């Protein structure tokens, strides 16, 4: 029903003036060949994501605008002997925003993400973005987000989220359905770094189980870039969760001035939990990642990502050749990942060996 309303909006708004209405079209097509557990699978996918942006009110003092994105997709999946189809039509984003010169308030289905880490993110609280996905697709959250920006680039975020019956980000336990979560973030630019403190509170699906999550992140830019993300989650006593969960990401990047420049980025991630003492871990898992990117020319580039799980001693490897024009993008992706991902919480989404061709067209 929501998708039908969206299509009617396209027909109605197509008659509006360009400064009020904007329609962006994203077409994606991909075909993948997987080898997993000695079996072969073939995936074929087609996706269309139209984006409607409307300037509802534009005054000198304030502006009100909205955006609606629909995700229409078709997938055909064939195993060794069987094949089946998947069709999907959903609202991907739908939000309304009020903004003035240094403040904005946005309400609706939206993406909320932050933090300097890129590969193994401790601050992946509300999104599931995979660094290997050129579309950077992630489910949104039903939320109200308020942001204020100071003149020195400091900023304050406040949010309230309507909980749904599904995991967000690195969560291991879902929130209590139809409950409300809330939190905020304060970010400040110091002389040599930019640092931020984040907080989030929610009630879990288990009766009267509360979680208070605290996050700290900072980034320094010297000859090399350095950053840290640290998260501590405190649960009240119950039979299902540990008392403490801790995530830590340490990262650095540097561009080697060889030919067109080789950008190297590395991160190390530590997950641990404690039953009683915050500083004594009952379980720990670590993972390291490094990425290399090299621009071959004006349109072509190569990206490689390697991830190693110290707990399971598994390697995940990803290599992508990318060619981008103004409207057309082509990706040839090769993956070689462990067939069973034992890392917990999940930082690696794909398993087995695969080759994938993706073609995107935007206008």
- Distance between CA atoms of residues 202 and 179, nearest Å: 8
pLDDT in tens, 224-280: 999 999 999 999 988 788 999 999 999 999 999 999 999 999 999 999 999 888 888
- Distance between CA atoms of residues 316 and 341, nearest Å: 10
188 vs 81: which has the higher pLDDT: 188
- Distance between CA atoms of residues 124 and 77, nearest Å: 30
- So what's the pLDDT on residue 345? 44
- Distance between CA atoms of residues 143 and 112, nearest Å: 9
Residue 287 contacts by C-beta under 8 Å, 6 or more apart in sequence?
120, 268, 269, 307, 308, 309, 310, 311, 343, 347
Whether 6 has a pLDDT exceeding 60, the answer reads no
| Contact (Cβ atoms closer than 8 angstroms) between residue 110 and residue 104 | no
Bridge partners of 19?
Answer: none
Whether 197 has a pLDDT exceeding 60, the answer reads yes
Q: What's the CATH architecture for 102-362? A: Beta Barrel (2.40)
Question: ∠ CA 286-120-217 to the nearest 5 degrees?
Answer: 105
Preceding amide of 266 cis, omega within 30? no
- Distance between CA atoms of residues 293 and 342, nearest Å: 27
Bridge partners of 212?
Answer: 201, 234
As given in the structure block, the two tokens for residue 178 are: 């139809």
What is the share, in percent, of the chain residues with pLDDT greater than 90? 73
Whether 296 has a pLDDT exceeding 70, the answer reads yes
- So what's the pLDDT on residue 207? 75
Whether 66 has a pLDDT exceeding 60, the answer reads yes
* Closest C-alpha to 184, from 160, 154, 210, 218: 160
Whether 3 has a pLDDT exceeding 90, the answer reads no
- Distance between CA atoms of residues 129 and 347, nearest Å: 10
| Contact (Cβ atoms closer than 8 angstroms) between residue 295 and residue 301 | yes
Bridge partners of 109?
Answer: 94, 142
- DSSP letters, 130-155, are -TT-TT-----EEEEEEEEE-TTS-E
- Identify the helix (H) or strand (E) that includes residue 160: strand 155-162
pLDDT in tens, 318-357: 999 999 999 999 999 999 988 754 444 444 446 678 999 9
- So what's the pLDDT on residue 55? 94
- So what's the pLDDT on residue 277? 86
Whether 19 has a pLDDT exceeding 90, the answer reads no
- So what's the pLDDT on residue 2? 53
Confidence class for position 39, pLDDT limits 50, 70, 90 = confident
Bridge partners of 249?
Answer: 229, 269
Half-sphere exposure of 273 (CA within 13 A, CB side): 11
* Closest C-alpha to 157, from 179, 130, 126: 126
* pTM, entire model: 0.89
Bridge partners of 246?
Answer: 232, 272
Residue written as tokens 């398993």? 351
Confidence class for position 4, pLDDT limits 50, 70, 90 = low
Residues 328, 29, 363, 109, CA torsion sign: negative
- Distance between CA atoms of residues 138 and 200, nearest Å: 20
Q: Taking the domains of the chain in order of start, what are their residue ranges? A: 102-362
1 vs 114: which has the higher pLDDT: 114
Please tell me what DSSP assigns to residue 177: T
- So what's the pLDDT on residue 350? 60
Please tell me what DSSP assigns to residue 175: B
pLDDT in tens, 132-163: 999 999 999 999 999 999 999 999 999 999 99
What integer best gives the mean pLDDT of the chain?
90
pLDDT in tens, 273-284: 998 888 888 899
- Identify the helix (H) or strand (E) that includes residue 4: helix 2-13
């Amino acid at each position: 029903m929501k998708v039908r309303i969206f299509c009617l909006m396209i027909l109605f708004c197509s008659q509006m003036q360009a400064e009020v209405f904007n329609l962006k079209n994203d077409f994606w097509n991909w075909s993948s060949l997987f080898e997993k557990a000695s079996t072969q699978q073939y995936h074929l996918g087609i996706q269309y994501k139209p984006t409607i942006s409307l300037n509802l009110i534009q005054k000198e003092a304030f502006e009100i605008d909205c955006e609606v994105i629909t995700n229409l997709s078709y997938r055909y999946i064939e195993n060794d002997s069987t094949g089946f189809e998947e069709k999907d039509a959903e609202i991907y984003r739908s939000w309304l925003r009020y903004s003035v010169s240094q403040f904005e308030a946005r309400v609706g289905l939206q993406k909320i993400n932050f933090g300097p880490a890129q590969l193994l993110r401790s601050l992946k609280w509300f999104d599931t973005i995979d660094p290997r996905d050129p579309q950077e697709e992630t489910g949104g959250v039903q939320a109200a987000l308020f942001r204020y920006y100071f003149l020195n680039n400091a900023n304050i975020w406040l949010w309230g989220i309507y909980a749904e019956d599904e995991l967000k980000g690195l969560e291991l336990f879902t929130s209590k359905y139809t409950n409300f979560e809330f939190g905020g973030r304060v970010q400040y630019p110091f002389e040599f770094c930019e640092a931020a403190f984040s907080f989030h509170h929610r009630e879990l699906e288990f009766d009267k189980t509360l979680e208070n999550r605290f996050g700290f992140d900072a980034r320094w830019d010297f000859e090399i870039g350095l950053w840290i993300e640290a998260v501590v989650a405190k649960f009240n006593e119950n039979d299902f969760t540990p008392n403490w969960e801790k995530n830590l990401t340490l990262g650095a990047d540097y561009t080697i001035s060889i030919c067109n420049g080789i950008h190297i980025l590395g991160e190390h991630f530590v997950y641990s939990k404690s039953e009683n003492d915050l500083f004594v871990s009952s379980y720990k898992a670590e993972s390291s990642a490094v990425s290399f990117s090299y621009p071959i020319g004006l349109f072509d580039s190569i990206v490689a990502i390697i991830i190693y799980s110290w707990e399971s001693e598994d390697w995940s490897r990803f290599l992508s050749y990318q060619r981008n024009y103004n409207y057309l993008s082509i990706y040839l992706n090769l993956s070689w990942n462990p067939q069973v991902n034992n890392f917990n919480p999940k930082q690696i989404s794909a398993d087995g060996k695969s080759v994938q061709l993706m073609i995107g067209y935007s206008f």
